[in-house]
Amino acid sequence: MQTLLDRNAHQALLDNRSILVVDDEEPIRRLLGYLLQSHGYTVALAADAREARQKLDEQPYALLLCDVNMPGESGMDLVRNILGERPDTAAIMVTGLDSSVLANAALDMGAFGYIVKPFESNEVLIDVANALRRRRLEMENRRHRENLEDIVRTRTMALQQALEWLERSEKELRLSREETIQRLAIAAEFRDSSTAQHIQRMSHYCELLARKAGLSPERCDIIRTASPMHDIGKIGTPDHVLLKPGKFTQEEFGVIAQHAEIGYRILSGSDAELLNVAAVIAYTHHERFDGTGYPRGLKGETIPIEGRIASIADAFDALTTQRVYKPAFELSHAIELMVKHRGQHFDPELLDTFVASVDDITRIHAQYADKPYRKI
C-alpha cells in the first residue's frame, strides 16, 4: 500500500502543471498569468521573493517564472535557493537584461531558460513547455536512479546475507567434518592406549611444521585436518598384537606394519582432497628418509612431504608421551634423540625446521597435555 501511495504521489508531481510567476511589475505578472492560464496551466502570482517563498511553502509548483531584478532579494538568489531546496521545481528567468553573461550564469545555476523582455507569447509558451518536459524527464531519471540504488542496495544486502549464511554453513560443515575425523581417529588410537590429546598434538605439530616449511595456508589446513587419521589402519590390527606391552617379535611387527597399508586402503580413492591427503599420510608416515622404513621402503624426497612431516610429528609425540611400556621423555631429550637420526629416519631439513620451532612445540605440548586418568 505504501508503495502505491508513493507512486501516486510521484505521478502527481510529474503531472503538476502549476506555475508561479514572480515579477515586481504588475502588468508583466498579469500578462504572463493570463497567457499561461489560457493554455491550461494553473498560475499563481507573486510580486517579490518574500511573497514567492510564502506561496511555495503553501504548495509545490512545477515551474518558477522569475524576474532577475526585483526589490530586496534578487531573482537570481531566489532561484538559486529554491533549486537547492526544492529539486523538483524548474525555473526560467524572465528579464529585461539581454546579457549573454547573465544568461549563462542563470543556466549554470540550473535554470531551464532565459526569456528577454519584451517577449513573444509563443516564445514563452515554447520555453514553458520545454522546461516542464525537461523537468519531467529529470524527475523520472532521478526516480529511476533511486530505484536502481534501492535495488542494488537490496540485492547487496541479500548477497551479503547469503554469503554470511554460506560462511556459517561452511564453518559448521568444516567443524563437523573435523570432529568426525577426530572421533574416528580417536576410536583407532584408543585401541592402543593413545589419547584424544595425542590426536590434537599430532595435528598441530603437523600444521606447525607444514607452515614453517613454507606450504600454502590451504595445504597446511588440509594437513592439520588429515593428519589425525595417520593410524586409522590400526582398526585392522589384532588386539593381541596391538595391545602387547613389550617388544614385538618379527612376525608381530610384520602384522602391525600392515596398518599403514590398511589405512591407505580405507582412505584412498576418494574425490575429496582431504581424504586423499589423509591416505598419503597413513601410507607414508612410517617411511624413513634413508629408505629403511615401511611399508614400501621409500627414500628421500620420493616420500611425499606430508608423510615426512607426519613422521617427525608422530615420533616426537611418541617420545614425549607416557605409555604403559615407557615413560615420557623430556622435550629436550626427545629432540636430542631425534637429531641423532637426522638424515636417517627423518628429513634433515624438516627436522631442523621442527627443532628451530621449539617454543611453538612447547606451547602445543602444554596446551594439549594428557589429562590425568580417572576411574569411573
Q: Nearest Cα to 46, choosing from 34, 72, 64, 62?
A: 64
Mean pLDDT within 133-158: 83
- Sheet holding 90-95: strands in order across? 42-46, 18-22, 63-67, 90-95, 113-116
Q: Please write the tens of the pLDDT for every residue from 311-352.
A: 999 999 999 987 766 788 999 999 999 999 999 999 999 999
User: To the nearest 5 percent, what fractions of the chain are helix, strand and coil?
Assistant: 65, 10, 30
- Domain assignment present for residue 158? The answer is no
Cell of 295: 611399508
Residues 6+ apart with CB under 8 A from 290: 299, 343, 344, 345
- DSSP structure string for 136-181: HHHHHHHHHHHHHHHHHHHHHHHHHHHHHHHHHHHHHHHHHHHHHH
Q: Report how far apart the first and last C-alpha atoms of the chain are (Å, whole number).
A: 67
**Residues 240 and 196 sit within 8 Å (Cβ to Cβ):** no
Tens digit of each residue's pLDDT (9 = 90 or more) over 186-240? 555 554 545 567 888 989 999 999 999 999 999 999 999 889 888 888 877 776 6
The pLDDT of residue 374? 44
166 versus 214: the higher-pLDDT residue is 214
Residue type, 187: A
Percent of all residues in the chain with a pLDDT value above 70, rounded to a whole number: 83
Tell me, yes or no, whether 162 lies in a domain.
no
Range of the domain at 16: 2-142
**Res. 376: pLDDT tops 50:** no
- Residues in the chain, total: 376
Number of domains in the chain: 2
User: What is the rounded distance in angstroms from the CA atom of residue 220 to the CA atom of residue 99?
Assistant: 76
| Weakest mean pLDDT among 6-15, 240-249, 260-269, 275-284 | 6-15
Q: Which of 83-87, 151-155, 249-253, 348-352 has the highest mean pLDDT?
A: 348-352
Read off the CATH number of the domain in which 42 is found: 3.40.50.2300
Is position 363 within any domain? yes
Task: Identify the pLDDT of residue 5.
Answer: 41
Give the integer Cα–Cα distance in Å for 132 and 15: 9
- Is 183 a member of any domain? no
**Is the dihedral angle over the CA atoms 300, 298, 247, 263 positive or is it negative?**
positive
- Please check whether residues 111 and 260 belong to one and the same domain: no
Mean pLDDT check: name the lowest of 5-9, 185-189, 245-249. Answer: 5-9
Q: How far apart are CA 71 and CA 168, in angstroms?
A: 68
Mean pLDDT of 12-36: 86
Given 107, 142, 177, the domain boundary residue is 142
Amino acid found at 222 = I
- Residues 345 and 343: their CA atoms lie apart, in Å, by 6
Which CATH number fits the domain that encloses residue 321?
1.10.3210.10
Separation CA 240–CA 256 (nearest Å): 11
pLDDT of 308 over the 60 cut: yes
Exposed e or buried b for every residue in 166-198, given b needs 16+ CB within 10 A? eeeeeeeeeeeebeebbebbbebbeebebbbbb
The C-alpha cell of 126 is what? 515554447
Do residue 223 and residue 354 come from a single domain? yes
Q: In which band, very low, low, confident or very high, does the pLDDT at 4 lie, cut at 50, 70 and 90? A: very low
Q: What is the pLDDT of residues 251-261, one digit of tens each?
A: 887 888 888 99
* 326 & 230 share domain: yes
> By mean pLDDT, which of 145-149, 155-159, 177-181, 282-286 is the weakest?
177-181
Place of cell 510567476: 21
On whether residue 159 sits in a domain, the answer given is no
213 and 110 in one domain? no
Task: Look at residue 177 and tell me if it is in a domain.
Answer: no
Regarding whether 138 and 233 lie in a shared domain, the answer is no
247 is catalytic: no
Contact 376, 227 (CB under 8 A): no
Residue 21 CA to residue 19 CA, distance in Å, equals 6
Burial of 66 (0-12, 13-18, 19+ CB in 10 A): buried
Count of CB atoms situated within 10 Å of the CB of 29 = 19
The per-residue pLDDT for 148 is 81
Give the number of other CB atoms < 10 A from CB of residue 349.
Answer: 13
* Same domain for 225 and 81: no
Quote the pLDDT of residue 267: 84
- Residue 143: pLDDT above 90? no
Mean pLDDT of 64-75: 90
Cell of 122: 509563443
- Are residues 217 and 135 located together in one domain of the fold? no
Say if residue 213 is in the same domain as residue 361: yes
Select which of 55, 171, 212, 234 is catalytic: 234
Q: Are residues 133 and 59 in the same domain?
A: yes
> What mean pLDDT, rounded, does the chain reach?
84
Question: Which of 186-190, 234-238, 241-245, 366-370 is the least confident region?
Answer: 186-190
Q: Give me the half-sphere count of Cα atoms (radius 13 Å) on the Cβ side of residue 271.
A: 0
203 & 349 share domain? yes
In a domain, 113, yes or no: yes
Picking from 122, 142, 162, the residue at the C-terminal end of a domain is 142
Instruction: Check residue 233 and give its pLDDT.
Output: 83
Do residue 212 and residue 359 come from a single domain? yes
What is the DSSP-derived secondary structure letter of residue 318? Answer: H
Would you say residue 182 lies in a domain? Answer: no
Q: Are both 249 and 326 inside the same structural domain?
A: yes
Which DSSP symbol is given to 346? B
